[in-house]
Structure 1
């Protein structure tokens, strides 16, 4: 696929929204297959497209396993992203009665590419195979900023994990009553960067010997913790901790099964990228 344009990056990576009625695929009725603009994964068939009059392309169904739903940063809507690469597509709404399926995927045109004439996903564009990692190490702004720079990282989202409260907000997490940690979800291409490389970098961009805090940020929500999604990730994390302890580091990082990850509010996403500044409590220190 071609590199993303600034507008495509604003929508797909930074989770923006194109202007209504402006997209190439809004008033568009050709038969074919809609793919993810970022990675090429097949997402929607033209047979499932309909005119909802909302100003964006609308679909009442997706290809099996192609789209992932998650809570939007505004806390109200349900965001839809490409299941293969995590690229932002738009939002999904149910119960509107617009089609018999009673579902509307409201998708940004710039998140899509179109394959004319195709009705089912073929092997023409290989689907990007990604994996996901979750790391907590102090304020999520700095962890997000530094991990997102690595080649092979597809997307990094700041959010909350490890707590007991549904739909946590930043204020609730900071109250230390929800049990959540500020964390990041890292979607990466294992063909370009390994989980071990990411985990090593995680240990080198924060202080894994500081309990319940990072730099001047103190509190349980700033704890050092790895949330694993597979036995392999757990094994790697525990081995790296053992290596650091053998080097004399008194590592306090916890290793925990990953639970529900809640994306943080939109103003927390790409914080340092938007501000044009550098992290104040995260810096690289070689440890391996």
Structure 2
């Protein structure tokens, strides 16, 4: 069986049964609706409806998808280890009789062993420094979650430093999860164009380089058609649109200190300004 490529840290936990530090995992406080799959083989493991807050420092679930998780005695002789039933990837440990939920079960799982697939619709936009792009989308109606990272390159698991060297092919990209009953993809596309200079060809504002180019990464034919529609509208208004359209590929999430940057810093973007167009 062919498995997903793992980083050294993922191998330490998933293959060699290590443990990530408490309260550092990506999914500790994740409250979005969706399913959690195995990082190594993509097998579905847990539903978001079974996740609960145990304040233990790791994601906690009181049930698993039937047949997805295997329990085995831990090497320490005291605990019960849980692994992916499909590929044997180490997930964490299971504990009973703690009375957190009526099911009286706690699967204590390393975030790094999981990959989350949201139920909501998702869009990907690149419009210069991803700090500024995310700033506007995270405040938009209907948006439930945002993350910044990299897309469109030829290097797996790129770091910010690698992308800044301008030879990985990636663009700084914002992932936007949204509820389509509250906001449409058209709403997001309009906001994308209204918050950056889509006519600039060498970067965005003072940020010059291929990683800062304007691009919409579409996930399907419908998204592509909507993006093309608004580019045509802008061209009819007299704009020379430099925005590229590319099919969405793997989204590599950036380092934690980049996420929701301006919210944590308490400031506003230096190269993104809202300007109503539509």
User: Structure 1-normalised TM-score?
Assistant: 0.63
**Superposed displacement of residue 272, structure 1:** 0.2
Instruction: Note if 1:173 corresponds to 2:144.
Output: no
Are the structure 2 counterparts of residues 259 and 205 from structure 1 closer, same or farther at C-alpha, using a change threshold of 3 Å? same
Equivalent residue for 1:89?
Answer: none
Q: 1:156 aligns with which of 123, 136, 146?
A: 146
Are the structure 2 counterparts of residues 194 and 262 from structure 1 closer, same or farther at C-alpha, using a change threshold of 3 Å? same
SS in 2 for 1:197: helix
Instruction: Note if 1:38 corresponds to 2:55.
Output: no
SS in 1 for 2:181: coil
Equivalent residue for 2:229?
Answer: 239
Equivalent residue for 2:120?
Answer: 130
Are the structure 2 counterparts of residues 40 and 285 from structure 1 closer, same or farther at C-alpha, using a change threshold of 3 Å? closer
Q: Is the 8 A contact 1:159 1:264 kept in 2?
A: yes
| Aligned ranges 1:1-288 → 2 under 5 Å | 18=23, 38-39=31-32, 44=46, 56=58, 62-63=64-65, 98-99=81-82, 101=85, 102-105=88-91, 116=102, 129-288=119-278
Q: Is the 8 A contact 1:56 1:106 kept in 2?
A: no
Distance 2:123 2:30 in 1: 23
Distance 1:178 1:37 in 2: 30
Are the structure 2 counterparts of residues 166 and 39 from structure 1 closer, same or farther at C-alpha, using a change threshold of 3 Å? closer
Distance 1:118 1:61 in 2: 10
Distance 2:32 2:263 in 1: 22
Distance 2:198 2:24 in 1: 44
**In the comparison of the two structures, how many residue pairs are matched?**
209
Q: Is the 8 A contact 1:129 1:189 kept in 2?
A: no
Unmatched 5+ residue regions in structure 1? 1-15, 24-35, 67-95, 108-113, 120-127
Cα deviations by residue, 1:204-252 (Å, 9 ceiling, x for unpaired)? 0001000131110000000000000010000000010000000001001
Cα deviations by residue, 1:183-204 (Å, 9 ceiling, x for unpaired)? 1010100010000000100000
What is the root-mean-square deviation of aligned Cα atoms in Å? Answer: 3.6
**Superposed displacement of residue 103, structure 1:** 3.8
Distance 1:251 1:38 in 2: 38
**Superposed displacement of residue 133, structure 1:** 0.3
Cα deviations by residue, 1:10-41 (Å, 9 ceiling, x for unpaired)? xxxxxx96499xx9xxxxxxxxxxxx973566
**Superposed displacement of residue 99, structure 1:** 4.1
Distance 1:106 1:206 in 2: 44
Equivalent residue for 2:18?
Answer: none
**Superposed displacement of residue 117, structure 1:** 5.8
